[in-house]
């Protein structure tokens, strides 16, 4: 018989029941792939949720079998979300042993710790926006004088003489559609920001196959904010113009639904809305397992231009200074898309660096007491020594 390995579903804060010795199984009757028990493998104050498995290569399964396994993976994380904040792992992640998992948790501990704090009490919601391109085109023809003019030229000159006008018409229509798409997206995001000023949003990025979301069943996994019952022909004409993931509080679903219904009423027949969730935050808890703790901390320190010995107040002072200098609002009047994207990336990098440095100081050097002016050491040996916990300390 093939030696069993550990299938990993997610990373969570170490459950309180785990602080007692000899308690490793998850209560509540939750089972994993092939109905195997869900257990914990812990390191410091975080745990991997796992089950034993004989599977090594999931590519050998056909589509139906693979879908069933993905659904089982997803159901475990959905069940865990009812009680814990979770960092979901991608489908098919297997470790040789519990010891290998502990090594993974140790190597990327700061990333896991930071991600757990970032997503605490929150869930991912996918907001999708659709339009009927035929209706939008008709609206553009009515409202855009240049498009109307070119359309008449094409119709009057015929296929050969009107070829040049047809090319211009196609270009103008494309530009008008893109401009319209951008206006809708910006208006929707700004409206959502009113209700959720601290929400995190980004174009949909999945670290697990889409089937893991869809196979649960449409009525359970999604809400379609469209009361009309349209035929399949109209559904085919619909085109998705926005597909964003939002990280918002678990208790804010009703507020999200209310705001999207307001937008649906505002746009009426122009665009339709759909949201899916709450789900595990796949798009907001991306962990780079190849990046060790020291490399992560050192990169953040250098981004802040800090030395190897710094007080916590100095970190916060540098953060506020850099955030003020590079805030995207300072580029609000520029029309240069590249400049805006660079500004947004820069502020995200600053926020991430502050998050990493704060976590490091908080969990390793107790530097959150400003009055003590404790020094945070970013020397490699100090970072690594503070992360690696001796076996006798593992239950602390």
Q: Does residue 250 share a domain with residue 185?
A: yes
Q: Does residue 311 share a domain with residue 250?
A: no
Q: Does residue 128 share a domain with residue 115?
A: no
Q: Does residue 311 share a domain with residue 344?
A: yes
- Domain stop point among 279, 302, 317: 279
- Domain stop point among 120, 143, 162: 120
* 284 inside domain: no
Mean pLDDT by groups of 10 residues along the chain of 396 residues: 83 73 54 88 92 81 88 91 92 91 92 92 91 81 78 70 73 85 89 78 48 27 39 54 89 91 87 90 86 92 92 91 83 70 85 91 59 75 70 38
Q: Does residue 94 share a domain with residue 15?
A: yes
364 CB contacts (<8 Å, ≥6 apart)? 383, 386, 387
Q: Does residue 146 share a domain with residue 99?
A: no
* 270 inside domain: yes
Q: Does residue 274 share a domain with residue 170?
A: yes
Per-residue pLDDT, 302:
94
Q: Does residue 169 share a domain with residue 265?
A: yes
Per-residue pLDDT, 394:
40
Per-residue pLDDT, 236:
41
* 240 inside domain: yes
Q: Does residue 323 share a domain with residue 273?
A: no
* 199 inside domain: yes
* 52 inside domain: yes
Q: Does residue 203 share a domain with residue 109?
A: no
Q: Does residue 140 share a domain with residue 93?
A: no
* 41 inside domain: yes
Domain that holds residue 232: 124-279
* 286 inside domain: no
Number of domains into which the chain is organized: 3
* 248 inside domain: yes
CA distance 372 to 81: 38
Q: Whole-model pTM?
A: 0.75
Q: Does residue 115 share a domain with residue 63?
A: yes
- Domain stop point among 240, 257, 279: 279
């Amino acid at each position: 018989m093939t030696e069993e390995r550990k299938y990993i579903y997610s990373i969570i804060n170490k459950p309180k029941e785990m602080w007692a010795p000899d308690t490793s199984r998850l209560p509540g009757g939750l089972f994993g792939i092939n109905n195997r028990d869900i257990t914990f493998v812990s390191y410091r104050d975080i745990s991997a949720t796992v089950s034993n498995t004989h599977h090594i290569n999931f590519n050998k399964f056909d589509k139906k079998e693979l879908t069933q396994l993905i659904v089982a993976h997803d159901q475990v994380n959905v069940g865990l979300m009812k009680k814990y904040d979770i960092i979901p792992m991608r489908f098919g992640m297997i470790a040789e042993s519990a010891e290998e998992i502990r090594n993974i948790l140790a190597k990327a501990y700061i990333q896991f710790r930071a991600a757990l704090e970032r997503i605490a009490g929150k869930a991912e919601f996918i907001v999708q926006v659709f339009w009927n391109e035929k209706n939008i085109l008709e609206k553009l023809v009515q409202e855009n004088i240049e498009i109307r003019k070119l359309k008449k030229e094409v119709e009057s000159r015929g296929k050969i003489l009107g070829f040049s006008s047809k090319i211009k018409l196609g270009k103008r229509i494309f530009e008008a559609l893109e401009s319209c798409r951008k206006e809708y997206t910006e208006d929707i995001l700004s409206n959502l920001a009113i209700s959720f000023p601290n929400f995190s949003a980004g174009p949909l990025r999945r670290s697990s196959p889409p089937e893991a979301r869809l196979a649960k069943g449409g009525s359970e996994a999604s809400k379609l904010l469209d009361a009309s019952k349209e035929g399949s022909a109209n559904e085919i004409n619909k085109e998705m113009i926005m597909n964003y993931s939002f990280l918002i509080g678990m208790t804010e679903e009703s507020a999200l639904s209310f705001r999207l219904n307001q937008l649906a009423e505002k746009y009426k027949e122009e665009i339709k809305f759909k949201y899916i969730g709450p789900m595990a935050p796949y798009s907001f808890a991306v962990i780079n397992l190849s990046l060790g703790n020291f490399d992560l901390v050192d990169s953040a320190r250098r981004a802040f231009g800090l030395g190897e010995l710094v007080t916590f107040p100095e970190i916060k002072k540098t953060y506020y200074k850099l955030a003020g200098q590079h805030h995207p609002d300072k580029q609000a009047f520029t029309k240069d898309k590249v400049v805006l994207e660079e500004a947004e990336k820069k502020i995200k990098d600053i926020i991430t660096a502050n998050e990493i440095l704060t976590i490091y100081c908080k969990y390793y050097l107790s530097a959150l007491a400003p009055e003590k002016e404790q020094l945070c050491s970013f020397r490699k040996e100090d970072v690594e020594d503070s992360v690696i916990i001796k076996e006798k300390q593992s239950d602390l």
